[in-house]
Amino acid sequence: MQEKTILGHVKRLSEVNGRRDIMPLSWVTYPGTHCPLFGAAITVRQMKNAVMLVIGTEECTYYTKSLSLVYGEYGGLDGRCLSFVMDKHDVTFGCQDKLKKAVEELVKEYAPEAVFLITTCVPEMTGEDIDSVADGLWNAYNIPFLTVHTDHFRCDGHLSGIQNVWAACAKMMEPCVQEEGVNLLGKKAGNSELASFLNAAGVRVRLSLPSDCSLEEMKKAPAAKLNVVCSKQGLLLAKEMERRFGIPWVSFYDRCRPAEIEEGYKMLFELLGKPMPEEVEGKKKKLKEKIEENRELLDKGSFILGNSAVEPFVLASFFAELGMEPLLIQAKEFEEEDTAYKDVILKQGMNPYVSQSANLAAMAGVYELLKPDLYLGPAERDILLQHQIVGIGLPKAGQMLGFELAEHMVECFAEGMKRCRQIKENGI
C-alpha cells in the first residue's frame, strides 16, 4: 500500500520517452523549483553593462528586484535590474504601448549597451508579442534588445532561463574573421583538464560562459574557430552560432566513458588542426586504472540520483555499466539524445523509477522502500543514516571536464560505498 501511494504513479525508465512521462513524486512540492526567471537573472548579472527589464505582474518583478539586493553585480535597488509591472489593464488589453514608453525612460536614464527583455508567465499566457517589440526597439535606439522567455509552465526549473539568455546573445554577435581559438560554453571550465590541454597546444580560450564578460567580448565571440559545449545549457547557443556563423561545436557535457572522452578530444583537435596531446592517453589510462581499482567496490551497489552537475541519464548509464544500479533517477527532461543512455541502463537489466526532482519530505518515504546504498544530491543526511544510506555529492564536478570528471565521480561513489559498508558492518 505504501509503495502504491508513493511510487505507484511514477513510471519506470522503460516507459519514459519524453518529459510528459516524468511524473512528480508528490503532487504537493515545497518549496518547489526555481523558475526560469531566476536562471535568467543570475546569468544576465554576469554581463557587464547589460540592463535586465523584467516584464510581468508585481509578484514576479518583486522577486527579481529582491535578487538585485543579494547580487551586488546589479548595483542594488537603483542598479541595472529593472521592473515593468503589468496591472490588470495591461493584462486585459495589452502592454506594448506602455512598455515602449518605459523603455524610452530606461534608455535616457541608463544609456545601456544592451537590454534583456525578460518575459514571465502572465505575458506569455496572454500572448504579448515581446519579440516583435524588441525588434522595433532595436531599430529605434540602435541598441540590442534581446527577448528571453522564462515562462515556468513550460518547464521544470531554472535551467531553461540560463539557456535562453545565452541563446539570445547570438543575435547581437557580429560576423568576424575566424581566428584560432575556442569558446567554452556552459560552465566555468577555464581551469579544467580540457582547458589545460588547449593551453598546452597553444590554443586560446576566447570566451568562457558563464563569466564576467563584457558585451563587446560577447559580440566578438564568432571570432573563435570552435565552440566546446561544457554543459547542456550551452547547447542551444552552440547550435545557433553554427547556424548563423558556421562555427562547429563539440560536446563534452555528455562524455563519461573513457572511449567517449577520447573521441571528444580527437574531434576537438582535428577541428582545430592540431595534434592530440600525448597527455590524453595518460589521462585515459589513469581513469581506466581508477575504474578497475574500484570495480569490486562499486559492483552490486545501488543509488538514488538527485540533483548534480552531471546530466542524470549520462551519469546513471556510466555507473550502470560498472554494476551500480540506479533505483530512482530524478530528472527535469528526457530528450532524444537521452535514449542512448536509457538503452545502456536497460541493457544491464536495470529499470529504475524516473521522477521529477522531489522535496525532501516526499523522498523520506522512498528510502525504506528502495533501500539504496547511496543518495547523490542534497538530502537530510541524518535521515539517510537512519536508513543506512550514505549521502554523497560531486563537489568539484561543476568545474571539471573529460577524464578528470569521470575519475572524480568514481572516487566519490567509491568513497560513499566504503562508508556504506562500514555503517552496515557496524550496525549503525
Kindly report which listed range (5-14, 95-104, 115-124, 153-162) carries the lowest average pLDDT score. 153-162
C-alpha cell at 49: 553593462
Whether 180 and 225 have beta carbons less than 8 Å apart is answered as yes
Whether 394 and 411 have beta carbons less than 8 Å apart is answered as no
Q: What is the pLDDT of residues 179-233, one digit of tens each?
A: 889 999 988 888 899 999 999 999 999 888 767 778 888 899 999 999 999 999 8
Whether 90 and 27 have beta carbons less than 8 Å apart is answered as no
pLDDT for residue 31 is more than 70: no
pLDDT at residue 80, as a whole number:
87
Architecture of domain 2-31+299-393: 3-Layer(aba) Sandwich (3.40)
Whether 185 and 230 have beta carbons less than 8 Å apart is answered as yes
Q: What is the pLDDT of residues 81-133, one digit of tens each?
A: 888 988 898 888 889 999 999 999 999 999 999 999 999 888 888 888 999 99
Whether 61 and 122 have beta carbons less than 8 Å apart is answered as no
Beta strand 302-305 with 325-330 is parallel
pLDDT at residue 428, as a whole number:
60
Based on its alpha-carbon atoms, the radius of gyration of the chain, rounded to whole angstroms, reads 23
Q: Which residue has the higher pLDDT, 343 or 67?
A: 343
Nearest to 26 by CA among 300, 237, 288, 330: 330
Q: How far apart are CA 365 and CA 23, in angstroms?
A: 16
User: To the nearest 5 percent, what fractions of the chain are helix, strand and coil?
Assistant: 50, 15, 35
pLDDT at residue 216, as a whole number:
87
Q: How far apart are CA 135 and CA 168, in angstroms?
A: 13
pLDDT at residue 157, as a whole number:
73
Q: What is the pLDDT of residues 334-354, one digit of tens each?
A: 999 999 999 999 999 999 999
Architecture of domain 36-155: 3-Layer(aba) Sandwich (3.40)
Alpha helices in 88-234 (DSSP H): 88-93, 96-110, 121-126, 130-141, 159-169, 193-200, 215-219
Whether 374 and 326 have beta carbons less than 8 Å apart is answered as no
pLDDT at residue 318, as a whole number:
97
pLDDT for residue 30 is more than 70: no
pLDDT band at 5 (very low <50, low <70, confident <90, very high): low
Classify domain 182-272 at the CATH topology level.
Rossmann fold (3.40.50)
Structural domain spans, the chain: 2-31+299-393, 36-155, 182-272
CB-based contacts of 43, cutoff 8 Å, min separation 6: 161, 162, 165, 166, 210
The partner residues of 375 in beta bridges, in order of sequence, read 304, 391
Q: How far apart are CA 135 and CA 121, in angstroms?
A: 21
Nearest to 109 by CA among 53, 60, 69, 181: 53
CB-based contacts of 344, cutoff 8 Å, min separation 6: 317, 320, 321
pLDDT at residue 3, as a whole number:
47
* Distances in whole angstroms, Cα of residue 124 to Cα of each of 121, 129, 150, 413: 5, 8, 9, 43
Q: How far apart, in Å, do the first and last CA atoms of the chain sit?
A: 28
Q: What is the pLDDT of residues 242-278, one digit of tens each?
A: 999 999 999 999 999 999 999 999 999 999 999 999 9
Whether 203 and 226 have beta carbons less than 8 Å apart is answered as no
Kindly report which listed range (119-123, 349-353, 374-378, 423-427) carries the lowest average pLDDT score. 423-427
pLDDT at residue 185, as a whole number:
93
Q: What is the pLDDT of residues 381-393, one digit of tens each?
A: 889 999 999 999 9
**Which residue pairs, CB below 8 angstroms and at least 24 apart, start in 4-11?**
5/365, 6/362, 6/365, 6/366, 6/369, 7/353, 7/366, 7/369, 10/353, 10/354, 10/355, 11/353, 11/354
C-alpha cell at 149: 522567455
Whether 355 and 10 have beta carbons less than 8 Å apart is answered as yes
